[in-house]
Chain A
């Protein structure tokens, strides 16, 4: 199975935590104070009393790499541990602290934390093996780093839309604790009770006497104070939020639009050389048999070239080091290398498809009596290919590995994985390795796996110089860990009244995971069968944005639409009817959510999405509306789409409405909407064009010339993103807005043309009508 992070709601404030062991206050040389917070246990128990014990750590360890610094200059520096890959987290997470501290946002400076052995942070020792492609369930496959902190199971990671649900509550407490300390400092200065003081706009106020003191003037006193006891700190009531829920422009926007070197690919240090790493294109292959490295070494601009023998998680290959990226790229064209191609050269997408179809042909064997006597039974099969994450910044990493220490600059979603892989590749201990987390040019799940960092580190170690490893676009595509391909063999039964009574989704996955779990109509009074089959493949796979859900939603929400039409019913009404029938006590759609809760949250947003689109309006042939909904990563999202299909089959997505219920608070409204808009485009893009084929055990498509993604002219003409606030704790947004868009659009295509799309990509289905 792929790794799918599940959001976990942190316990409510004031629950089973002695915050004196959670925070440390430090006076800073030259003025100011720092409030650090302790690393605690894994996400699910981030604030639980037993977390530290479970993690094998002392109850409190001060980590200066994670804190708020309040300076005498009025600048409040907030360090953030979540890597920024385009999800807006470098802005959103500090906003939570700033809200609780009542610090004016313009006074905030945000800095990305590195993993720094020079701090007192509990750094992990090398143990186990780093996660490989396709490896690992929750916490598995990444056995190296045991660096518990506030980021959940994976230190300094961002994946699975977990940042907000895991960090919201702890960050509130950090901000609120700082606020209480500052109030106390002011109260002592004025000789008034703390209860008479309040905070606003980076200042403490004593309104009774009309006095105020800016935080910058309170830091000296604050630094001498004890950290308040647990019951003395109460975070704000969300209804009193002033900053959260507003639109805040990303903290690095000005740097982005002026071309500042924020990304991994932009990093440079003196003495650095540029490297490429040629690997065997066949998955699961073996050693280098021959390579003309002696010839390549003599080329101008080439500093070195050598064969790398697989070690520490790095595969066999050839490294070429040049004086510029182009020198290394150019020399690579002169490289003549042969590999032991291993046992997988017979693998092909055609053969995998055949095997999957054979498994699908047996699907009915498991149906038993589920469809006996059912008035109307419909069959359909769906398929989706491998796709690439294709972040626009190809993988790269700058590594400076010395005999006894290393420094790494990595564009990553998962700094802990970088660390554990670098340890395995270099044999260094964690105390000797510093990992700088740069901004990443896209992630989408790819940069949870930091194989490129291990390769850069090993090449630097072998060459004895700092190395920036640069993958070409072709490397990035060829050596991706792909979204698994899959097939769905579905059967649905409708009774005489047009109600859904039986449902079978036989999922056949290629490479593992990805076939899509049924989150619906499970638990809704429908006899449900969801057996699964597996086609083995050497093609490496891993989490791709909204893993499983990104394809599962399309398969299930499309087939429900088919059933509605077969029953002669309005698809919206048909789906709402099923939603209205939750079976209490039945295990819910995902991660223990009950059908009852699912029903309540989903019904509200499905209705609103339909209303906002103008569901049911009379449209000419060639135009149509579709609706779909899905819950994943704790977020409930419904999307309604309206499309136009010309007679010659040209699709225009006119309008997409998304309605999301991700809890009672939207952290950054601008960032949240942007995630929704982007996920809709991403979901359409991967539905419309790209596919990857395997021949002779290797990838056929290698660049955007063959692997087509969506450009502006094909983007929806109008996208609306709405948020419905429910009483639930906030959850993430990077992923849940993606899955519903493909089925909403495909259902709209059917309404417009009568053509059902059952294959990704859309280019495989002609939409011509007459």
Chain B
């Protein structure tokens, strides 16, 4: 509905692109700080093992978004402040903009796309029931942070929620509904 078959994992391979000035591969000027060479990395994302070729300093944020098409991971600041890029790494919520691919091997990444099989994690349901989102751009990161909270603290108080969610920026100001949705999800999970 918005955009060109954007849901599909469209390969964006550089080799398909013919430009007037193709990238050179030799004789880099000495005046430049040379990039570390690209390498192949084997990653575990949402339970799938995938291989990605990238420079070792490439943040997982961009690996997940550009290389692997997990676009639910959002770029907001790139400097560990806003939380829009939050994913789970071995079960803990972390900022994917701060994890270079060179440190990703052997770790299990989960993005919002992999939080539940059918998009029906109690938090996802509660987010819809409470109509939390305004623009929605931060909400995947909010949900991933909240999911890690509920794993640690199944019945959080408002203070627990404020503390755990304190580094996820919602520019639209939906904090009131985020709190309420977390309580709802916690109650549903406790009832199971």
Known: A258-B113, A298-B28, A712-B161. A703 touches B77 (CB 8 A): yes
Interface residue from A258, A392, A442, A685 paired with B119 (Cβ < 8 Å) = A258
State whether A712 touches B175 (Cβ < 8 A).
yes
Report yes or no: B136 in contact with A261, Cβ–Cβ below 8 A. Answer: no
Alpha-carbon separation in the docked complex, A394 to B84 (Å): 12
Residues of B within 8 A of A326 (CB): 54-55, 58-59, 62-63, 66
Sort chain A's interface into a size bin: 35 or more
B3 at the interface (CB under 8 A from A): yes
CB distance from B175 to the nearest CB of A (A): 4
Measured CA separation A659–B133 after assembly (Å): 22
Whether the pair A256, B27 counts as a contact (CB closer than 8 A) is no
Q: CB-CB < 8 A to B173: which residues of A?
A: 677-682, 685, 710, 715
Which of A263, A303, A409, A674 is B17 in contact with, Cβ under 8 Å? Answer: A303
> Cβ of A209 < 8 Å from any Cβ of B?
no
Contacts of A84 in B (CB 8 A): 135
Q: Is the CB of A249 within 8 A of B128?
A: yes
Partner of B10, one of A250, A260, A270, A305: A270
Which of these, A252, A443, A473, A670, contacts B136 with CB under 8 Å? A252
B129 contacts A259, C-beta separation under 8 Å: no
Establish whether residues A86 and B77, one from each chain, have CB atoms under 8 Å apart when the complex forms: no
Are B10 and A712 interface neighbours, CB within 8 A?
no
CB < 8 Å neighbour of A712 from B14, B84, B165, B172: B165
Q: Given the interface contacts A259-B70, A712-B178, does A392 sit within 8 Å of B124 by beta carbon?
A: no
The reply to whether B32 and A88 form a contact with Cβ atoms under 8 Å apart is no
Say whether A674 contacts B131, CB under 8 Å: yes
Query: Is there a chain B Cβ closer than 8 Å to A381's Cβ?
Result: no
Of A268, A295, A675, the residue contacting B6 (CB under 8 A) is: A268
| A299 near B32: Cβ-Cβ < 8 Å | yes
Known A-B contacts A111-B1, A674-B174; A301 and B137 likewise in contact (beta carbons under 8 Å): no
* A295 → chain B closest CB, angstroms: 5
**B109 at interface (Cβ–Cβ under 8 A)?**
no
Question: B187 on the interface (CB 8 Å rule)?
Answer: no
Q: Most chain-A CB neighbours within 10 Å: which of B35, B78, B131, B166?
A: B131
List, in ascending order, chain A residues with CB within 8 A of B167's CB.
711
A256 with B168: in contact, given A270-B11, A682-B173 (CB under 8 Å)?
no
Most A C-beta atoms less than 10 A away, residue of B82, B138, B163: B82
CB within 8 Å of B: which of A309-368?
321, 323-327, 329-330, 333-334
In the complex, what's the smallest C-beta–C-beta distance from A713 to chain B, in angstroms?
5
Question: Within 8 Å of chain A (Cβ to Cβ): is B106?
Answer: no
Which of B7, B12, B161, B167 has most A Cβ within 10 Å?
A: B12
Contacts A442-B135, A713-B162 known; A254 to B3 CB distance under 8 Å? no
Q: Is B29 an interface residue (CB 8 A)?
A: yes
Min CB gap B145→A, angstroms: 10
Q: How long is the Cα–Cα vector from A753 to B81 in the complex, in angstroms?
A: 32
Closest Cβ–Cβ distance, residue A275 to chain B (whole Å): 12
Partner of A300, one of B17, B37, B77, B165: B37
Given the known inter-chain contacts A258-B112, A265-B75, A677-B173, please indicate yes or no for A298 contacting B135, CB distance below 8 A.
no
Alpha-carbon gap, A260 to B22, bound state (A)? 33
Residue in B10, B37, B75, B172 whose Cβ sees the most chain A Cβ within 10 Å? B172
Question: Does chain A have a CB within 8 A of B139?
Answer: yes
Q: A266-B3, A678-B172, A713-B162 are in contact. Are A473 and B67 (CB under 8 A)?
A: no
* Cα A33 to Cα B142 with chains together (Å): 42
Q: Is the CB of A256 within 8 A of B84?
A: no
Give the Cβ gap from A362 to chain B, nearest Cβ, in Å. 39
Do residues A112 and B135 form an inter-chain contact, with CB atoms below 8 A? Answer: no
Determine if B191 is an interface residue (Cβ-Cβ < 8 Å): no
Check if B171 is an interface residue, CB within 8 A of chain A: yes
Quick check: is A155 within 8 A (CB to CB) of the other chain?
A: no
Q: Is there an interface contact between B135 and A441, defined as CB atoms closer than 8 Å?
A: yes
Whether a CB of chain A sits under 8 angstroms from the CB of B76 is yes
Query: Which residues between 32 and 87 of chain B lie within 8 Å of chain A, taking CB atoms?
Result: 32-33, 35, 37-38, 54-55, 57-59, 62-63, 65-67, 69-79, 81-82, 84
The distance from the CB of B110 to the nearest CB of chain A, in whole angstroms, is 11
In the complex the two chains form, is A324's CB within 8 Å of B58's CB? yes
B131 x A704 contact (CB < 8 A):
no
Q: Hey, which chain A residues are within 8 Å of B11, CB to CB? A: 270
Residue of B nearest to A268 (CB): B10
Specify which of B4, B112, B176 is in contact with A257 (CB 8 Å cutoff): B112
Query: Which chain B residue has the least Cβ–Cβ distance from A300?
Result: B35
Q: Determine which of B23, B63, B131 lies in contact with A250 in the assembled complex, contact meaning CB atoms within 8 Å.
A: B131
User: Which residues of chain A come closer than 8 Å to B6, judged between CB atoms?
Assistant: 261, 266-268
| In the complex, chain A residues whose CB is within 8 Å of the CB of B124 | 254, 257-258
Q: Which residues of B contact A685 (CB under 8 A)?
A: 173
- Does B157 lie at the interface of the complex (its beta carbon under 8 Å from any beta carbon of A)? no
Q: Given known contacts A252-B136, A260-B72, is B21 in contact with A671 (CB within 8 Å)?
A: no
**List of B residues within 8 angstroms of A719 by Cβ:** 176
**Contact at A295–B176, with CB atoms within 8 Å?**
no
Residues of A within 8 A of B170 (CB): 392, 681, 712
Alpha-carbon distance between A393 and B140 when the two chains are bound, in angstroms = 13
B166/A713 in contact, CB under 8 A = yes
Query: Are A438 and B136 in contact, CB atoms less than 8 angstroms apart?
Result: no
Residues A112 and B62 in contact in the complex (CB < 8 Å), given A253-B127, A253-B133, A712-B168:
no
Which residue of the partner chain B has the closest CB to A717? B158
Report how far A585 CA is from B25 CA in the complex, Å.
Answer: 77
Please tell me if A709 contacts chain B, counting CB pairs below 8 Å.
Answer: yes
Q: Mark B150-166, 1 if CB is under 8 A from A, else 0.
A: 00000000100111011
Question: Can you list the 3 inter-chain pairs with the closest CB atoms, starting with the nearest?
Answer: A259-B72, A681-B173, A86-B135
Instruction: Using CB atoms and an 8 Å cutoff, list the residues of chain B in contact with chain A.
Output: 1-4, 6-7, 10-12, 14, 16-17, 19-25, 27-29, 31-33, 35, 37-38, 54-55, 57-59, 62-63, 65-67, 69-79, 81-82, 84, 111-113, 119, 123-124, 127-129, 131-140, 143, 158, 161-163, 165-179
Supply 20 further A-B pairs (C-beta < 8 A) apart from A391-B135, A442-B137, A465-B17: A253-B127, A253-B131, A254-B124, A256-B133, A258-B112, A259-B111, A261-B2, A267-B4, A269-B4, A273-B14, A295-B31, A299-B23, A301-B23, A301-B35, A303-B14, A393-B76, A436-B2, A442-B135, A678-B134, A678-B172
